[in-house]
């Protein structure tokens, strides 16, 4: 059994840098993603991973592992805020 936990903060550059100077087009970006004009996006991500297997249980010489992952993101930009990602996977592993 293997468990992992992670936490991270990611800061982004100024989105206005992607638009021509003086065009005012960057305002549309902030309106679309729900950010405060002039602010930079900052995301906080928390993740949890869990792998479960039993070494002496095999199927055709392969050991199945159940893998569960969960990640949640909160952001100061509404479009990217409150995202949850969940996944479950079955891995078949062989040890030599």
pLDDT digits (tens, 9 = 90+) for 37-94: 888 889 999 999 999 998 889 989 999 999 999 999 999 988 888 889 999 999 999 8
- pTM (two decimals): 0.69
Instruction: Name the phi and psi angles at 42, rounded to 5.
Output: -140, 115
Helix (H) or strand (E) holding 26: helix 26-33
On the question of pLDDT at 21 being above 80, the answer is no
Q: Select the more confidently predicted residue: 17 or 90.
A: 90
């Amino acid at each position: 059994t293997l468990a992992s936990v992670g936490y991270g903060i990611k800061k982004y550059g100024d989105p206005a840098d992607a638009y021509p100077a003086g065009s005012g087009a960057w305002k549309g970006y902030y309106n679309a993603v729900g950010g405060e004009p002039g602010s930079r996006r900052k995301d906080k991500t928390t993740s949890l991973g869990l792998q479960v297997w039993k070494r002496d249980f095999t199927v055709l010489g392969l050991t199945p592992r159940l893998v569960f992952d969960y990640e949640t993101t909160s952001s100061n930009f509404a479009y990217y805020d409150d995202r949850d990602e969940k996944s479950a996977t079955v891995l078949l592993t062989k040890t030599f």
